[in-house]
Structure 1
C-alpha cells in the first residue's frame, strides 16, 4: 500500500502555473474523469455500491476507485471501516478477504459478499471511508509525486489514473520507463515531451493485460488533453472512452 513518503526523499516547490489536482474544483474533475474510465459515468458518487468481477485476475472490483479483493486495498478499506463501525455488513467477511488477498478467488465471499457491499454502501460512514482510502492510497501519493516531478494538473492526473489502474508497483514501473526516455520538468525536461513518454509507457503496460488492453482512457482522453496543450486540465473538456463521448463544460 502507498504512503505519501513512499515516493522518496526531497521535494520541490509545486508548479507555479495553474492550480494543482488537489484544488477542490480540479479534484472533482479528476473524480468524474476516472468514473467515466471505470464506470462509463460522470456520476462518481453513484459508484460507492458498484461491485463485480471483471475477470482481470484481481477478484472483486468495487467502489469509487475499483478496490480489489485480490490486491489488498479492499481488505484495508474494510478493516478501516470495521474499526469505525464494528457491526457493519462487511465485517464478517474479513477472514475471507484476508485469505483471498493476492488471488482472484471468491472463496468465503460468495454468495453474500456483493449484497453486503451494496448494503454497506448506503452507509455514509462507509462512503466516507472509501473516499479517505482513495486519497490515502492513490490520490495524495500520486499528486505529491507529480508535483515533485514538476508536473502541472494534467500530469498530476496522469499519475493518479495510472496509480488507480496499476497500483504502486505498476505506476513506479511506468514512471521509470518514461524517465528512461525523457526528463521530467524537475530535471530540466520539457513537460509535454515527458508526458507523452509517460502516456506511451502507460499504454504499453495496459496492453500487457487483456482486461485493460483498450487504451482509450489514455489515447482519446488524456492524450487528447495533452495534444490540445491543456496542461492545467481546464474546462471545457471533451473526451471519449470505450466509444462513449463525454464532456465537462464548467
Structure 2
C-alpha cells in the first residue's frame, strides 16, 4: 500500500479513537434536581407558592394563624412543627457563641414538648420579638442562612430525593412535584404525608407523565379533604399549587429548562435563561 495512504489511514483511525476516548471520559450531566440549575428553578417555583416571590425568604418571619405558630425562613420552618427549633439549634452550633436567638431556644423546646404531648402548635409563649430578631440576624449573620440550608437539606431535599429514586421519578418536574409535596405535607408516612400519597399513586411502571398526573390528583384529594379537619381551610388554599404543577405537565416542561415562566394564583413568575 502507498505509504502516504497508510499514514492518512493511521491518522484517521487515531482521530476516531481519540474522539471515542474523549466521549467516554466526558462527565455525564446530573439528572433531575441533582443538577444545580434544575434545583434553582424548582426552588424558585416552590418559593413562588410559599412566598409570592422567586427569591428564597431567608429573613422572613411571621405569624400566619395557621395552627403552626411562627413561620420563618427559606422553607417556612415553624415553631409548632419542630423544624424551627432545629434551625435555631443548628445556628447556635455553627456560631459557637451566644447569638441573638439564644434566648428563644428554651421557649421553642417548651413548645416542641407541648406539641408532642398533644398541645397547641399555635402557641408562641416566650417568642415575643422573635420575628424582628430573626430578620435582623438573617441579614447580618450568614451562619443563620447556612443553618437554614443545612436543615432544609436534612429534613426535605435529601429525603424527598431518596423517595423519588425509590419511586423511579427521574425528571426535574417530577422531583419538583414530590419536593413541593414533602415541604408542605411532610416527608413521613402520616395520613397526608408524601410517603402516603406516593404509595396511593402506585408503581410508576415506566410512564412518568401518567404517574405524575395520578400523583397530583391524589395530592389534590388530600388538600380538599385532609385527614385533620381543623386544617381543611388552610390546605384548600394550596390547591393552586397543584394547578400550576399540572400546567407544567400539560406543557411537557419535564426538564424545567430555562427560561421558564408560570402563573400561580393569578400572578406571573419567571426564571430567565
Q: TM-score, normalised by structure 1?
A: 0.85
1:121 to 126, 132, 138: 138
Preserved contact between residue 35 and residue 42 of structure 1 (Cα < 8 Å) = yes
Residue 97 of structure 1 corresponds to 108
Q: State the match for 1:63 in structure 2.
A: 73
The residue number in structure 2 matching 1:106 is 124
Question: Is the alpha carbon distance of 1:146 and 1:74 closer, same or farther for their aligned partners in structure 2, counting shifts above 3 Å?
Answer: same
1:58: how far off?
Answer: 1.0
Give the number of the structure whose residues are more often helix, by fraction.
2
Residue 47 of structure 2 is matched in structure 1 by 35
The CA deviation at 1:17 is: 9.8
Distance 1:109 1:124 in 2: 22
* Residues 59 and 70 in structure 1, CA contact (< 8 A), matched pair in contact too: yes
* 1:154 is the counterpart of 2:173: yes
CA contact (8 A) 1:146 1:156 kept: yes
Q: Deviations over 1:64-108 (max 9, x none)?
A: 000011111111111111112231111111110011123110111
1:194-236 deviations in Å (ceiling 9; x for gaps): 10111111112222321131311121x2111111222222233
Whole-angstrom distance in 1 between the partners of 2:30 and 2:215: 21
Equivalents in 2 of 1:18, 1:234: separation in Å?
A: 14
Residue of structure 2 equivalent to 1:7: none
Match of 1:19 in 2: 31
Q: Per chain length, whose mean CA-contact separation is higher, i.e. which structure has more relative contact order (CA < 8 Å, sep 6+)? A: 1
Structure 1 equivalent of residue 92 of structure 2: 82
The answer to whether the 8 A contact 1:142-1:160 is kept is yes
Q: Which runs of 5+ in 1 are unaligned?
A: 1-15
CA deviations 1:39-71 (Å, max 9, x no partner) are: 111122xx1111112222111111000001111
What is the TM-score normalised by the length of structure 2? 0.78
RMSD between aligned residues: 1.7
| 1:11 paired residue number | none
Matched residue of 2:187: which SS?
helix
Distance 2:223 2:134 in 1: 28
**1:93 and 1:113 in contact (8 A); partners too:** yes
Q: Indicate conservation of the 8 Å contact 1:54/1:211, yes or no.
A: no
Count of residues in Structure 1 that have an aligned counterpart in Structure 2: 225
Cα distance, 1:244 vs. partner?
0.6
Q: CA–CA distance in 2 between the matches of 1:100 and 1:163? A: 23
1:210 corresponding residue in structure 2: 233
Q: Is the radius of gyration larger for structure 1 or structure 2?
A: 2
Q: How much does 1:18 deviate? A: 7.4
